[in-house]
Amino acid sequence: QVQLVESGGGLVQAGGSLRLSCAASGRFFSSYAMGWFRQAPGKERELVAAINRSGGSTYYPDSVKGRFTISRVNAKNTVYLQMNSLKPEDTAVYYCAASIDAVIVTSKNLYPYWGQGTQVAVSS
């Protein structure tokens, strides 16, 4: 089992940047594929980035492609989400999640482990 704690959220102006971090406790962090999701009020939780176990493969939906970058440092049990050129529509609670699958996982239903979330607010 793995426990996840996100940090790095906050308030930023449109066009600005934030870097979210997700620290994992427990063993075998490198055994988990990781994902970042977000949920805005009244909306479904959606995937914004995913990375495989080694960090060699990543996935982004079109809504964030070219603006967000997911990365991981397995030696530090940490996954990051660098968010650039932020827009007001990026405002949401951001969650990191861990999957026991080896490959990139895009369905939230395949992530059994979740952090508590960190708020990101982008002002216009």
pLDDT digits (tens, 9 = 90+) for 72-98: 999 999 999 999 999 999 999 999 999
Residue whose structure tokens are 């999640």? 97
Has residue 122 got a pLDDT over 90?
A: yes
Q: What is the mean pLDDT of residues 40-53?
A: 96
What pLDDT band is residue 64 in, cutting at 50, 70 and 90?
very high
Our CA dihedral for 44, 49, 92, 28, rounded to 10 degrees, sits at 100
pLDDT of residue 1: 84
pLDDT of residue 32: 95
On the 0-12 / 13-18 / 19+ scale of CB atoms within 10 A, 42 is: exposed
Q: How far is CA 15 from the centre of its chain?
A: 19
Q: What percent of the chain has pLDDT over 70?
A: 100
Q: How far is CA 56 from the centre of its chain?
A: 16
Give the integer Cα–Cα distance in Å for 94 and 10: 11
